[in-house]
Amino acid sequence: MCQLQLLGFLVIILHISFICGQNLPYIACPDIFDYLEYQNQYIGHLNLVLDSSLSENVVRVELSQPGRRTPSHPGSLNFLESEESLKFRLRNNEPINYRIDFPTPGVVPKLTMVSVNGEIVCQASQFGPPSTKLSLSRTLRSTVPLAALPTRPQQPQWSQNPQSNWTEAPQEQEPPQRAQPPPRPRPRPRPQEVPQPQFATSPRPVPPPLIPPVQVTRSSSRPTTIGQLRGVCGREKTIQTPYIHHGIEVERGQLPWMAALFEQVGNDYNFLCGGTLISARTVISAAHCFRFGSRSLPGQRTTVSLGRNTLDLFAPGATRGVSLLLLHEEYNPNVYTDADLALLQLSEPVEFDDYIKPICLWNENFLLDLPSGYKSYVAGWGEDEKGNRNTRLAKMTDTDIITQSECRGNLSAENSRFITSHTICASNAQASGPCSGDSGGGLMLQEEDIWMLRGVVSAGQRLTNRCNLTLPVIYTDVAKHIEWLLRSMWF
């Protein structure tokens, strides 16, 4: 817990002491803001829980300073902890501490507004004239996975009390009728909720029971080796393939290895991530869809939809439970892209037909190091360019492979650490590609009419309210993990 110790050290340096007898402006939201004394002057202390699913969190602060004199600068809003502490707190949904330095010695402004990513979380009236409005902002940037955002709205838990080594300064009382309670932080919107699937012949759909381990049965018609799979994999139904963000809708029977993963929440099934069928019993997806931050989703609460281009589980297709969830042993949530792989063992094998078929896996007959500009494809049901959390029908787009050096050159030093020897990057000049909800889907190559899986959607850049597809998307390179995959999958 060195981060917390460092924060305590920084607080001690502030040399905060209790000062009696001085009136301070009314604080409308004492749960997230207070005044502290530092070297005989006051500063502001703000603590906020930020959204770890976003790559960019923007905090804006407005203050009202009394008096006719307009300061030459508005003051400053800075983080009150180290970079490592920021990462630790963001990952663990702990409050981020900010320090507000006021512009004029001896004059203490009143906090009138705090917003996080455009949503107001604290608001109060300004001083009457003469007074000056001060505006400050600070942005915290990070790379984020492209899994669907949490299915339940999560209200930030504002710290009720400051750390014990903070000293609260006395404040001027304001009449209750003027106090404006802080608005509740905006809940995260719900992803599209889909109807509960019909698992039995009874007229009323019921949630599936916990699924026991698969009983291994061999069918002479089902491929049981990689060699046999190569005879059926990667072949689409005879349709015209158009060439999820700005993409083309996928027809049923096109990309018949596409899978949609759902999380069972009570009697509801909420869309979670994409996946790819690689054998009659195995779907591959992204590990961060199941383990990341506070998320810890067991395989038994996951349902797999196959043979559908829609998220409607009542549409023609197959639905399977998950008997076993296997995450790559080298998966590390701190640098998740390096081995962001999960295998799902289906509760029952699927039969291959025009609408359900596995994709081919990379082998030594294909290039390992792809040149810049090499054409690839990605598809999914994730967020679209209109801001819809999911699309009802799957979308597909092409995207160009870029080299590791090109990928690093387009990302910040902080975010380029997610580019490793086991990742592959792709970008699209039209800013189309995967977004939130497309994680786990496949980065696909088409080699002489045979489709091959090359990567798994892992991470991308995000602006405040949309994906930033002008920057590269990072995929876990399945070809670099092919030995693990071949020894771990089920037939």
Residue pLDDT, tens place only, 262-277: 999 888 899 999 999 9
User: Is residue 215 over pLDDT 80?
Assistant: no
User: Is residue 19 over pLDDT 60?
Assistant: no
* 206: in domain: no
141 forms beta bridges with: 56
* 185: in domain: no
Q: Is 216 exposed, middle or buried (0-12, 13-18, 19+ CB in 10 A)?
A: exposed
Range of the domain at 393: 223-488
pLDDT (mean) for 28-38: 91
From residue 136, how far is each of 24, 36, 125, 248, 286 by CA, in Å?
A: 20, 18, 17, 42, 38
Instruction: Give the pLDDT of residue 402.
Output: 94
236 and 143 fall within a common domain: no
**Percent of all residues in the chain with a pLDDT value above 90, rounded to a whole number:** 48
296 forms beta bridges with: 291
135 and 274 fall within a common domain: no
CA dihedral sign of residues 83, 88, 90, 96 = negative
Backbone angles phi, psi at 337, to 5 degrees: -65, -25
Q: Which residue has the higher pLDDT, 344 or 432?
A: 344
Is the distance from CB of 153 to CB of 190 less than 8 angstroms?
yes
Instruction: Give the pLDDT of residue 246.
Output: 57
Using pLDDT thresholds of 50, 70 and 90, give the confidence band for residue 294. confident
* 189: in domain: no
255 and 168 fall within a common domain: no
Determine the Cα–Cα distance for residues 334 and 317; give it in Å rounded to an integer. 37
Backbone angles phi, psi at 453, to 5 degrees: -85, 125
Determine the Cα–Cα distance for residues 188 and 119; give it in Å rounded to an integer. 11
* 124: in domain: yes
Q: Which residue has the higher pLDDT, 160 or 413?
A: 413
Determine the Cα–Cα distance for residues 153 and 416; give it in Å rounded to an integer. 30
**Percent of all residues in the chain with a pLDDT value above 70, rounded to a whole number:** 75
* 270: in domain: yes
Residues in the chain: 491
368 and 433 fall within a common domain: yes
Number of domains in the chain: 2
The count of other CB atoms within 10 Å of the CB of residue 220 is 5
Among 178, 213, 234, give the residue marking a domain's end: 178
Token pair, residue 8, equals 């305590």
* 190: in domain: no
The pTM (predicted TM-score) of the whole model is 0.59
User: Is residue 449 over pLDDT 70?
Assistant: yes
128 and 244 fall within a common domain: no
Q: In CATH, what number is assigned to the domain containing residue 333?
A: 2.40.10.120
Among 111, 143, 178, give the residue marking a domain's end: 178
239 and 347 fall within a common domain: yes
271 and 148 fall within a common domain: no
pLDDT (mean) for 379-387: 80
Determine the Cα–Cα distance for residues 384 and 381; give it in Å rounded to an integer. 8
252 and 110 fall within a common domain: no
* 191: in domain: no
Determine the Cα–Cα distance for residues 100 and 315; give it in Å rounded to an integer. 55
pLDDT (mean) for 401-410: 93
Using pLDDT thresholds of 50, 70 and 90, give the confidence band for residue 144. low
Determine the Cα–Cα distance for residues 390 and 148; give it in Å rounded to an integer. 9
Is the distance from CB of 16 to CB of 36 less than 8 angstroms?
yes
CA dihedral sign of residues 218, 220, 221, 224 = positive
Is the distance from CB of 342 to CB of 285 less than 8 angstroms?
yes
369 and 447 fall within a common domain: yes
* 475: in domain: yes
User: pLDDT digit string (tens) for 337-373?
Assistant: 999 999 999 999 999 999 999 999 998 888 999 999 9
Among 119, 147, 178, give the residue marking a domain's end: 178
Determine the Cα–Cα distance for residues 389 and 435; give it in Å rounded to an integer. 9
414 and 339 fall within a common domain: yes
| Residue with the two structure tokens 């580019």 | 419
Using pLDDT thresholds of 50, 70 and 90, give the confidence band for residue 442. very high
Q: Is 173 exposed, middle or buried (0-12, 13-18, 19+ CB in 10 A)?
A: exposed
| Residue with the two structure tokens 């004199």 | 69
Instruction: Give the pLDDT of residue 146.
Output: 65
170 and 307 fall within a common domain: no
270 and 140 fall within a common domain: no
Instruction: Give the pLDDT of residue 22.
Output: 55
